[in-house]
A and B are shown apart, each in its own frame.
Chain A
Amino acid sequence: MKSLHAEFDALRRRFPPGFEPSLVLPCLRRIQEERGHVADADIDDLVAYLRVPRIRIEEVLSYYTQFRRAPIGRFHLQVCRNVACSMRGAEGVVAQIDERLGIAPGETTEDGRCTLSTVECLGSCGTAPVVVVNETYHENLTPERLDALIEGLAR
């Protein structure tokens, strides 16, 4: 994305000389924030901008779980299902979202508003169970609070 080049230039100045390859992750994060996913054209642009081999960008995109190559719903509901959350109702959270929105993990509502994912430990073990909607943590969920959250997203 050419519109981000000025920001990338500023970012580059914060790193010591020789750290250009380090910019791959922060640039991809910024692109995804802007577009919602990373498109083929973004990779072409970043290859030219950073002058790194294309594989260095492709391998990062496929390795890290947060990067996406395709669009998803406007609200991305991410439910932790690791040990502490499972012990505090994570399976109930997934079942309740499925019940209310009709989506299983990996699916998006027909109107394109909500995508459901299960994820691993988010560091909310002490405030479990948790749903992250886009970037925001919603912790200490109860069935009632989850319903209120879902209603807010559907509106």
Chain B
Amino acid sequence: MTGRKLIMTFPVTADSHTLAAYRARGGYATIEKAVRGMRPDEVTKEVAASGLLGHGGAAFPAGRKWGVIKLNDEQPHYLCANADEGEPGTFKDRWILENAPHLLIEGMLIAAFALQVRHAFVYIRGEFDLPYRRIAGAVDEAYAAGWLGAPIAGSAFACDIVVYRGAGSYVCGEASGLLTSLEGRKGYPRNRPPRLTVRGLYQLPTVVNNVETLANIPGIVRDGAATFRSVGTAKSPGTQLISISGHVRKPGVYEVEYGYPFAKFLHDDCGGVLGGGKLKCVIPGGISTKVLTAAEIEPLTLDHASVAAAGSGLGSGGMVVIAEGTCMVRLLQVLVRFYHHESCGQCTPCREGMGWLHKIVDRIVAGEGELDDIDRLIAISHANDGTTICGMGDAAGYATVGILAKYRDEFEHWIVHGRSRHGGRLEAVGAEWALPETVDG
């Protein structure tokens, strides 16, 4: 067990995602409670008091973001659920979309009531198939049952939700890029200020919240901020959905109470390292967070303060487990290839820098690297830091510098000897993909 649970509180069955099942679990009672007995600003106050941190990666306090919206400014406000889950290693919003889509919708309705939003959106990545069908189906069910598009509980409050599909772009997961994409354009991020809560979608005040953040809202408003704060730690209240993958015996999505010990999580709950090998290192919160060696991460607890003190972050909760014997040069090659592929091209340091990182690591892997290349990679990473509109260039730099700082010797070995110290291995020992004999016909 990974501590108390707030989201994954029910057994997943063939129909646990339906409206009927959600109603049977007490669903949509909290939006009724809110519109009947609370003022919009009281809802925001409760969310702020809960200390709920955004689950998209930056851990920004959700209540503070909502607090920027001025309720009586006589212009439309918009709400957008960020379901553009694309940070490699992260697949927890997918769990909510597939298994608890009505929890997201109720969270959006409560947020829309608090922020006086008439039109809300779910921006979902274009590749997601089942998650799209589940959330779109749930929105249809909610319309048919009168939860969407019609006044709720005899009040004047009504809200519409449109599910909007992306078409393949990592950068659209960044909130401003997402809104530009939702305006039907290429997903270029925007400079701040102004904040999106001041000028967002079509230049109007917009709140963009991660799916998991919104899924926490019904529980907070139902049970109160104090109950929510009784879970987790003082600085990280509540839980986090952790997606764990890579060299781990039982990969998947686990809801972990903040403050839960990492070692117990990996070795007991997740079955330990795949193939029975030793732990080499872990990327703790999506590939844009710095890698932590086994010695660094084993004593940590899973909460923001603990992981930040070790020099990394829990980010989006995308945890990648890496076993001894894995080649960190090849691993970095996969990461920089991804960043190069996904750079939107708007800012010069990222557009050029990602290509340089990729080319240099490719050159090392081809046996044509120079020892100076290591410092070149670090210099390019630093040149990206803080010089671009969105955080992607910075993130690629953190990932690169993180690996080079701890595994520089593997890069030197490849450059000097023309080959990997670990045979270029990315798969776990004993768990390799083995091509079967050709089938005739």
Chain A residues near B (Cβ < 8 Å): 14-16, 18-19, 21-26, 28-29, 52, 56, 59-60, 62-67, 81-84, 86-89, 91-93, 95-96, 99-100, 119-129, 132, 135-137, 143-144, 147, 151
9 inter-chain pairs at a CB distance below 8 angstroms, sorted by A residue, are: A16-B118, A66-B168, A83-B334, A120-B338, A120-B341, A120-B342, A123-B125, A125-B251, A126-B91
Interface residues of B in 326-341 (CB under 8 A from A): 326, 330-331, 334-335, 338, 341
Other A-B contacts than A92-B435, A120-B170, 10 sampled, CB-CB below 8 A, are A15-B119, A22-B183, A65-B168, A82-B88, A86-B334, A87-B428, A96-B435, A126-B245, A126-B251, A137-B129
The complex places the Cα of A91 from the Cα of B330 at a distance, in Å, of: 12
Interface centre among A63, A66, A67, by most B CB within 10 Å? A63
Chain B residues contacting A29 (CB-CB under 8 Å) are 126, 165, 167
Is B60 in contact with chain A by the CB < 8 A criterion? Answer: no
Q: Which of A60, A81, A83 contacts B246 (CB 8 A)?
A: A83
Residues in A with CB closer than 8 Å to B26 are none
Q: B185–A82 contact, CB under 8 A?
A: no
Find chain A residues with CB under 8 A from B244 CB: 126
B94 contact from A18, A119, A123, Cβ within 8 A: A123
Interface contact A60-B245, CB-CB below 8 Å: no
Residues of B within 8 A of A132 (CB): 127, 129
Q: Please determine whether B246 and A84 come into contact, CB atoms closer than 8 angstroms.
A: yes
The count of residues in chain B whose C-beta lies closer than 8 Å to any C-beta of chain A is: 67
Main secondary structure of the interface of B (DSSP, over half): loop
- A125 to B335, alpha carbons, bound, how many Å? 14
| CB of B43 closer than 8 Å to a CB of A | no
Residues of B within 8 A of A18 (CB): 202
Given contacts A25-B184, A29-B167, A83-B320, are A137 and B334 in contact (CB under 8 A)?
A: no
Closest chain B residue to A124, Cβ basis: B91
Supposing A87-B247, A143-B434 touch, asked if A21 and B89 sit within 8 A by C-beta, the answer is no
B405 in contact (CB, < 8 A): no
Across-interface contacts of B427 in A (CB, < 8 A)? 86-89, 92
Q: Report if A81-B334 is in contact (Cβ < 8 Å); known contacts: A22-B164, A25-B181, A127-B251.
A: yes
Chain B residue numbers with a CB within 8 Å of A100 are: 438
CA distance A92 to B185 in the complex (A): 37
- Tell me if B436 is interfacial: C-beta within 8 Å of chain A: yes
B436 & A147 in contact (Cβ 8 Å cutoff): yes
Which residues of B116-160 have CB atoms within 8 Å of chain A's CB atoms? Answer: 118-119, 125-130, 160
Give the residues in chain A near B130, CB-CB below 8 Å: 137
Query: Is residue B397 contacting chain A, with contact meaning CB distance below 8 A?
Result: no
Closest to B130 in A: A137
Q: Name B166's contact: one of A25, A83, A99, A143 (CB within 8 Å).
A: A25
| B426 interface residue (CB < 8 Å to A) | yes
The reply to whether A22 and B119 contact each other, CB–CB distance below 8 Å, is no
Please state if B164 and A126 are interface contacts (CB–CB under 8 Å).
no
- Cα-based distance from A127 to B253 in the complex (angstroms): 10
A141 to B167, CA, bound (A): 25
A87 to B432: give the CA distance in the assembly, Å: 9
Contact A16 B428, CB 8 Å, known A65-B168, A93-B433: no
- From known contacts A96-B435, A143-B434, infer whether A121 and B338 are also in contact, taking CB-CB under 8 Å: yes
Per the bound structure, the CA–CA distance linking A128 and B431 in Å amounts to: 12
Q: For B94, list chain A residues within 8 Å (CB).
A: 123
The answer, among A126, A128, A136, for a CB contact under 8 Å with B129, is: A136
Interface pair A143/B170, CB less than 8 Å apart: no
Asked if A63 contacts B334 (CB within 8 A), the reply is no
User: Which 10 pairs, one residue from A and one from B, show the smallest C-beta to C-beta distance?
Assistant: A92-B433, A89-B433, A65-B168, A64-B167, A125-B245, A24-B184, A63-B186, A66-B168, A84-B245, A121-B88
A21 adjacent to B184 (CB under 8 Å): yes
B residues less than 8 Å from A86 (CB atoms): 330-331, 334, 426-427
Smallest CB-CB separation from A28: which chain B residue? B167
Cβ of B187 < 8 Å from any Cβ of A?
yes
Q: Which of A60, A88, A123 is packed against the most chain B CB atoms within 10 Å?
A: A123
Q: In whole Å, how far is B365's beta carbon from the nearest beta carbon of chain A?
A: 13
Contacts of A128 in B (CB 8 A): 245, 251
CB distance from B426 to the nearest CB of A (A): 5
In the bound complex, CA of A89 to CA of B435 (Å): 10
Given A25-B167, A29-B126, A124-B91, are A95 and B435 also a contact pair (CB < 8 Å)?
yes
Is B91 touching A82 in the complex (CB atoms < 8 A)? no
- Bound form: Cα–Cα A42–B233 in Å: 55
- The answer for the CA separation of A144 and B331 in the assembled complex, in Å, is 26
Whether B169 and A64, one on each chain, are in contact in the complex, defined by CB atoms closer than 8 angstroms, is yes
Can you name the residue of chain B whose Cβ is closest to the Cβ of A148? B439
Counting CB contacts under 8 A, is B31 at the interface? no
**Cβ of B89 and Cβ of A83 under 8 Å apart?**
yes
The residues in B between 290 and 327 inclusive whose CB is less than 8 angstroms from any CB of A are 318, 320, 322, 326
Known A-B contacts A14-B162, A87-B426, A143-B434; A60 and B126 likewise in contact (beta carbons under 8 Å): no
Which residues between 209 and 255 of chain B lie within 8 Å of chain A, taking CB atoms? 243-247, 251-253
CA distance A125 to B91 in the complex (A): 7
Cβ distance B106 to chain A, nearest Cβ, rounded Å: 20
By beta carbon, the residue of chain B nearest A27 is: B184
